[in-house]
Structure 1
Amino acid sequence: MVMERLSGLDASFLYLETPEQLMHVCSVMVMDKSTVPGGYSFATFRATLDERVRRVPQFTRRVRRVPLDLGHPVWVKDEHFAIDHHLHRMALPAPAGHAELMEMCGHLAGLPMDRGRPLWEMNVIEGYRGEDGEEKLVVFTKMHHATVDGASGANLISYLCSLEPDAPPLATDEIPMDGRSPGSLELFGRGIVSTLSRPLSIPKMLSPTLGLITETVSRAQHGTAMAPPLTAPRTSFNGTITGHRTIAVGDMDLEDVKAVRRATGATVNDIVLSIAGGALRDYLLERDELPDSSLLATVPVSVRGESKRDEGANKVSALFTRLGTDIADPLERLTAMTEANKHAKDHHNAISADTLQDWAEFAAPRTFGLAVRAYAGLRLADRHPVVHNLVISNVPGPPIPLYFMGARMDGMYPLGPVFHGAGVNITVLSNNGVVHVGVIACEDSMRSPEKLVAHFPEELGRLKEQVAPAG
């Protein structure tokens, strides 16, 4: 792979980053190390990981800025790549349980990554004992959003995971990468060409954009538009964030979710969003701060199958949806959610898959970065109407067990970034019959996310009870 320019959308995640608004995605992987052939040792883990990541450019490339920020940065091969810059070993103090693990993961999530090196880290955490009393191997991962979205992140994991403890990884092909590092003059020239040619793309973008506006107005008149941003009620987690993070994880039974799906005809995504709405409702009721109107969530949507653009790691769009936190009855909430999501999906499908990526090309590195810092410094998120309350992602995972370096994956809890104005992120992933729930929050916005996570299985149980007679 020759030197590669970041797409505007990928680069935007770099520009959006501040010491408080960190743009990496994380995961907590809890594994049974007794399945490792020959037994687990950190030395073997390190050697195997080093061998596998060197085959994949995404693990061994770093960001290089264009002189004077005339264009988006480029990916170049890291000539000084060393696994010890990215893999760290640590241990929890004994006796170590779930609370201690979450505290350590929250601390790690709040640490920025070194942009002078490839933008990923793995922290091997030893000494954690699960609910069964057995010691588990935990790996806390961080990858910058400029490098991956949900789908591309899953592809990278396939180079590290296998279907059997002693089997080769799911992806074994080696991706070549040209070691040539471009000179500053070449980057400067490319930046000038990119800057001068960028306005030429405006005319072809105006037509679909104007069409989107017309479509939105028409749908709003007929009541079939997705929920608009800037209409969310304010809660305790909607304001300016700090760099400190809290984390909580939990599980739900996938078969229970499927039972609700069979009984109601709702999609898994509808059910997950409805459960999240119920859990948030209960959490806010406990704090005596439930708004009269429903919370509004941003839901990332993959457009990888529809996008016409080849470049870039991130191929995503987003839709807005109300979570029904103003509806007490779980089944009534799901019914309303299913109808609203149908309109939101239809509205979203009327938008070009590449619209967000096309407009992101106009993100000016210096201007964008200064604007984000000014926004945070002036605490504007505390003053203007709330754009959205939080981000919720639903990621389909493997229906069968996976093995990471030979260790069986018992839990994989993904965690997305949080933003000024939306200090909580919920990500749900299905894995081998279990639905894993990961919540990450700004510590000042939500000090005890475990109280929110605890309501997810409770809400699913209430929903299943209501539909059981029809199931």
Structure 2
Amino acid sequence: MDRLSGLDASFLYLETPEQLMHVCAALVLDPTTMPGGYSFESMQRLIAERVADVPFFRRKIKRVPLRLDHPVWVDDEHFEVHRHVHRMALPAPGGYRELVELAGHLASQPLDRSRPLWQMYVIEGFEDDKVVVFSKMHHATVDGVSGANLISHLCSLEADAPPLALGGGGEIARRPGDLELVGRAVVSTLAKPVQVVKLLAPTSQLITRSVGRARSGTAMAAPFTAPRTSFNGTITGHRTIGYADMSLADVKAIKQATGTTVNDVVLTVAGGALRSYLQERGELPESTLTATVPVSVRDHSARAGGANKVSALFAKLGTDIADPVERLTMMSAANKHAKEHHQAISADTLQDWAQFAAPRTFGLAVRAYAGFRLADRHPVVHNLVISNVPGPPVPLYFAGARIDALYPLGPVFHGAGINITVMSHAGDINVGIMACRESMPDVDDLVDRFPTQLEELRRLTVG
């Protein structure tokens, strides 16, 4: 059986009508490059051909009776691509404002768990001649890296070339009966005490080492120490979206001039944008904001299964530092400590402990947490999530249409109502922000500050 890993399943358990756990992306396409010309029917047909032999796109979840264990993946025997690839059109004038309003609405809708957990909306009429594909994939099925790999099944290096990934990927396991699922769940439950004992020793050693790092000043930022802002509290199910572009060449020039990294520069720019945004509203805290930064452990994990191969570190964003260069210097030093601290943690720690997430208990706890609005009361764990995903260095073609931009959009959580994700693409850095509409209704005011902050940092470091 192809059972979901505990980490993958946790994203199902975390989901509520307010806390939606899908990962989105907006692909801006030039349809004039499609062989034979663009039509929705031809794009839908080509997508259908390319996903036909990729198990991910046609598998769905099957619950274990009484939720005794994590769900399993089974084949959707009634899979039809028209249930997943839909056609829409922007209202006039078909610009940025109309696109982000529609995208925010689509991002606010949960995925249907009775079907494979993905949707694509082909949106016509953007800037007169562009097409936008807005995709949604549940976080239980993908992380940043695996999501990009799945999109590669639909992309190619030339308009008429075969896709970068050519189908395959294994067969979906047979559909188990309820009695078998219950039996396996009982065996799995009985084995958990032994598994816990095996994890206790390395976990206690990890805690001891982390305390030592904290005392020496070489630990990553600590959770529950972030200041409260207007976007740190209980969220609703309404989403708002914004996007912007930055020059990858400028980021690399700053990196070279200062001896830092691309990630250092990106986080410094984000810190500057957030500082400016909050300061203009009279909401800037005296202490720095803290971000959770997802980290891929795919190259270091010893676990064969599971779609999500991620860990995370906490990073101070230097929003209490006015000077951009000083903020970058701080960020570089802090990130080195955070990386060393993170590397000292087993790549599979999060996955191993997530195996013990009890389906029914976990779901009830999440709903109680939201219902009692606990995110408004306890110390702030983190202010937001920031992801930096490396993308393709050259232009790609989606179903024959050239990708002009690719804006990634990650989920938001109770207590942290904003997610910033950046992805490099063909010489640009595409910035996507998703936020709870009630927590940050003016997301454009934040995302528009990214290019400005980058330019200021470039001027001060490169000239």
TM bucket, shorter chain: over 0.9
Q: Contact 1:159/1:172 (CA < 8 Å) preserved in 2?
A: yes
Question: What is the rounded CA distance, in whole Å, between the counterparts of 1:180 and 1:341 in structure 2?
Answer: 45
Residue 16 of structure 2 aligns with an amino acid whose one-letter code is T
Give unmatched runs, 5+ long, in structure 2. Answer: none
> Is 1:231 aligned with 2:229?
no
**1:304-340: per-residue Cα shift (whole Å, max 9, x none)?**
1111000100010000010000001110000000000
Question: What is the rounded CA distance, in whole Å, between the counterparts of 1:178 and 1:284 in structure 2?
Answer: 49
TM-score, scaled relative to structure 2 = 0.99
Q: Contact 2:247/2:428 (CA < 8 Å) preserved in 1?
A: yes
Q: Contact 1:55/1:176 (CA < 8 Å) preserved in 2?
A: no
**Partner residue in 1 for 2:303:** 309
Residue 413 of structure 1 aligns with an amino acid whose one-letter code is Y
> Is 1:33 aligned with 2:27?
no
Question: What is the rounded CA distance, in whole Å, between the counterparts of 2:284 and 2:409 in structure 1?
Answer: 25
**1:7-62: per-residue Cα shift (whole Å, max 9, x none)?**
00000000000000000000011011111111101111111111111111110000
Q: Contact 1:415/1:426 (CA < 8 Å) preserved in 2?
A: yes
**Partner residue in 1 for 2:381:** 387
Q: Contact 1:77/1:177 (CA < 8 Å) preserved in 2?
A: no
**Partner residue in 1 for 2:436:** 442
TM-score, scaled relative to structure 1 = 0.97
**Partner residue in 2 for 1:114:** 112
**Partner residue in 2 for 1:398:** 392
Residue 378 of structure 2 aligns with an amino acid whose one-letter code is H
Q: Contact 1:30/1:139 (CA < 8 Å) preserved in 2?
A: yes
**1:247-266: per-residue Cα shift (whole Å, max 9, x none)?**
00000010000100110011
Question: What is the rounded CA distance, in whole Å, between the counterparts of 1:440 and 1:419 in structure 2?
Answer: 11
3-state SS of 1:137 partner? strand
3-state SS of 1:428 partner? strand
**Partner residue in 1 for 2:363:** 369
3-state SS of 2:87 partner? strand
3-state SS of 1:95 partner? coil
2:235 to 229, 237, 241: 241
**Structure 1 range deviating more: 8-17 or 208-217:** 208-217
3-state SS of 1:200 partner? helix
Residue 440 of structure 1 aligns with an amino acid whose one-letter code is M
3-state SS of 1:55 partner? coil
Q: Contact 2:59/2:172 (CA < 8 Å) preserved in 1?
A: no
**Partner residue in 2 for 1:75:** 73
Within-5 A mapping of 1:296-375: 296-375=290-369
Q: How many residues align?
A: 463
The change in CA–CA distance for 1:111 and 1:44 in structure 2 (over 3 A counts) is same
Residue 88 of structure 1 aligns with an amino acid whose one-letter code is H
Residue 162 of structure 2 aligns with an amino acid whose one-letter code is P
Residue 162 of structure 1 aligns with an amino acid whose one-letter code is S
> Is 1:195 aligned with 2:193?
no
Residue 424 of structure 2 aligns with an amino acid whose one-letter code is S
**Partner residue in 2 for 1:294:** 288
3-state SS of 2:70 partner? coil
Q: Contact 2:55/2:172 (CA < 8 Å) preserved in 1?
A: no
**Structure 1 range deviating more: 417-426 or 85-94:** 85-94
> How far off is 1:93 after superposition?
1.3
Residue 398 of structure 2 aligns with an amino acid whose one-letter code is F
**1:117-152: per-residue Cα shift (whole Å, max 9, x none)?**
0000000100110xxxx5211000000000000111
Question: What is the rounded CA distance, in whole Å, between the counterparts of 1:413 and 1:215 in structure 2?
Answer: 38
Within-5 A mapping of 1:254-293: 254-293=248-287
Within-5 A mapping of 1:133-212: 134-178=128-172, 180-212=174-206
1:84 to 82, 85, 98: 82
> How far off is 1:176 after superposition?
4.1
> How far off is 1:178 after superposition?
4.3
**Structure 1 range deviating more: 240-249 or 280-289:** 280-289
> Is 1:456 aligned with 2:450?
yes
> How far off is 1:385 after superposition?
0.5
Question: What is the rounded CA distance, in whole Å, between the counterparts of 1:106 and 1:74 in structure 2?
Answer: 30
1:103 to 94, 101, 104: 101
> How far off is 1:174 after superposition?
2.4
2:244 to 243, 247, 250: 250
The change in CA–CA distance for 1:176 and 1:340 in structure 2 (over 3 A counts) is closer
Question: What is the rounded CA distance, in whole Å, between the counterparts of 2:270 and 2:92 in structure 1?
Answer: 34
Question: What is the rounded CA distance, in whole Å, between the counterparts of 2:170 and 2:388 in structure 1?
Answer: 32
